[in-house]
Amino acid sequence: METKSPVQVQIFGQNYTIRAEADQEYILSVASYVDRKMREMTEKLPMASVANSLSKVAVLASLNIADELMKERARRERLERQLNERATRLNAVLDELLQDSTT
């Protein structure tokens, strides 16, 4: 088990110390992604809105990231269903071929 070593990250101009068992490069990558999403949100908001509420930017970025996650999960579940359907059909064909070869 890896030890939790601190990693310094900067998200939206704020410094944070993250302690996690994950690899430092991974933590930096995740922090960079969150930072990028927050900056994307500020480009879509009026400047006064951004200045008045960092939490608004964080919530909107979180919603955007959650949307991406849920869409990706739905895509993965759809692909898993397709794979299971194909495996079921393949098993049926193999069973039929094996049954034909024994008769």
- pTM for the full predicted model: 0.74
pLDDT at residue 91, as a whole number? 95
Q: Where are the domains of the chain?
A: 5-76
Q: Across-strand partners of 17?
A: 8
Sign for the pseudo-dihedral over CA of 44, 47, 52, 54:
positive
Task: Determine the residue type at 44.
Answer: K
Residues 1-28 have pLDDT tens digits of: 556 889 999 999 999 999 999 999 999 9
Gap between the Cα atoms of 25 and 36, Å rounded: 16
Nearest CA to 5 out of 18, 16, 14 is that of 18
Residues 28-44 have pLDDT tens digits of: 999 999 999 999 988 88
